[in-house]
Amino acid sequence: MYAGPCILTAVLIAVLACAGCLGPAGPVVNTTPEPTPEPCETCTVPKDFCGPPGVCPGEPVNGIYAFTDRNTYRIGDVVEFGIVNCGDERKAFGTPDPWVIQQWVTNASGVTHQGSCGDPAVGNCTGGMWVMIGISGWYHTGETVYLYPGENWTVQWNTTDWWDTAKVRGDHVEPFDHRKRSDGSSYQISEDPLTPGIYRVWYMWYSNNASKEFEFV
C-alpha cells in the first residue's frame, strides 16, 4: 500500500525532532565546565636552527640557542627547556646545567645575588630587573663538560607545587629562595614567587650567554 508523500514527510519530521534537530534545546544535563584551552602561539624558527623539532628558540649567541617547548605556559605545567650547539665548534661549560631560571620583577631593589644593574644577569634595570628563582638541584663534580655541534641538553621543570616539593621529589629544577637588599644584606623568602609574568632561562657560562624568554599566564 502506498503511504503517499505527506505521510513520509511527517515521519521524517518526527525522526528529526527526536534527534534534536527541531524544537528548543532541552536543559543541559552535563554541567561540568569545559577545560580552558591552551594559549595559541606560533614559533619562528631560524633557518640555521639545529635543535629539536617543535621548540621555540631564542636569539643565538656564538652558535648557541636556548629554547623552550612553548612560549606560553600556565602555572602547574611542565616547562621543557634546553640548549643546542648549532655552531661549528664544541662549547665548554663548567657543569651540564649551566642555567638559571629568572623572573622579570618591576619593584626589585636593583641588587641580586648575581650582581647589580648593568650586569647581563640583572639587566639595565629599565622598568625592572631579572631575579633568579630557580637553579639545578642535581649534584655535579665541577669538571668541564662540552656541548658538541648538533648536540642539545634538555631539562624539564615541573611547576606543580614546586616551591614546596621540588627538593623532596628530587626535581632537576629547585627553588632559589635567597634575596638581597639594596644594602647588600641577604634574606630568604618562604612564599613561591611564581606568578603570571615574564621569565627566562639563562645559560650564563663563559661567553655562551644565550637565553630564552617565556611567559606564565
Instruction: Quick: pLDDT tens for 162-196.
Output: 999 998 999 999 999 988 887 778 888 888 999 99
Q: What does the alpha-carbon distance between residue 105 and residue 66 come to, in Å, rounded to a whole number?
A: 21
Q: What are residue 116's DSSP bridge partners?
A: 111
Using H for helix, E for strand and C for coil, what is the string for 120-163? CCCCCCCCCEEEEEEEECCCCCCCCEEECCCCEEEEEEECCCHH
Q: How confident is the model at residue 35 (pLDDT cuts 50, 70, 90)?
A: low
Percent of the chain residues topping a pLDDT of 90: 49
Q: Looking at residue 82, what DSSP letter applies? A: E
Q: What does the alpha-carbon distance between residue 38 and residue 19 come to, in Å, rounded to a whole number?
A: 32
2 vs 107 pLDDT, higher one: 107
Do residues 69 and 94 touch, judged by C-beta distance below 8 A? no
For residue 51 the three cell numbers come to 635543535
Do residues 131 and 105 touch, judged by C-beta distance below 8 A? yes
Please tell me the pTM assigned to this model.
Answer: 0.78
pLDDT in tens, 105-153: 987 767 777 777 877 778 877 888 899 999 998 877 778 999 999 999 9
56 vs 114 pLDDT, higher one: 56
For residue 137 the three cell numbers come to 638541584
* Residue in the structure block whose three cell numbers are 662540552: 146
For residue 1 the three cell numbers come to 500500500
Residue 169: how many other CB atoms lie within 10 Å = 13
pLDDT at 64 > cutoff 80: yes
pLDDT at 24 > cutoff 50: no
Percent of the chain residues topping a pLDDT of 70: 80
Q: Which amino acid type is present at position 149?
A: P
